[in-house]
Structure 1
Amino acid sequence: MTSYRTFAPVDSKKEDFRKYIEKSGLLERMTLALVSLFEEQERPENAIAYFKSRFDPDSWETSNEAMKKELEQVRRQLEELQIEHNLLKMQMAKGVVEEAVVAEPEQ
């Protein structure tokens, strides 16, 4: 004989609350914050502070702005490095040509 678990019907008040937190996005944000904590390589000393920082939308905006500034700075740095790279390539090309001219025996 197989035994089946029967679940009591969900209380309508609880079901309404579940729908509310799901529609409002609260459940998703909490889940994302918890998943982020779970995926950390090293566990933070204060899990509550970590959770708050991941959960608080205001900190997201601040973090987002900081990331935008950092991205812009990295883009400028990349552009400068590309220019430097191109200059070095040109210098190397000239150096190789000059070395080839010097290395040729005179006739």
Structure 2
Amino acid sequence: MNIQLSKEAVKWFQDEMMIKEGDHVRFFVKYGGSSKVQDGFSLGVSKDEPMEAAVTREENGITFFIEEQDVWYFDDHDLEVNYNESSDGPSYDYSKN
């Protein structure tokens, strides 16, 4: 399992969430909504410190991560984070690895 981020998505996190070098961004499972990989659940994001990171990706000195407890959500898919101009925010895609 991997995390891929576009340059535009990283910039969005830096600008909108005021994330800077040395910070950590967590992708986590939340109840409600739906996604391409799990019905009834969706992906949330927060500025947080890792406890048991299962997957990490560093971009511009920022560590993006998924905790071990949330790995089930991805069902053996990689997470692809892009920037969506029309919603002015991140979009999440999943690809089978």
TM-score bucket of the superposed structures, by smaller chain:
under 0.3
TM-score, structure 2 normalization: 0.18
* Higher RCO (CA-CA < 8 Å; seq separation 6+): 2
Structure 1 or 2: more strand by fraction: 2
Larger radius of gyration: 1
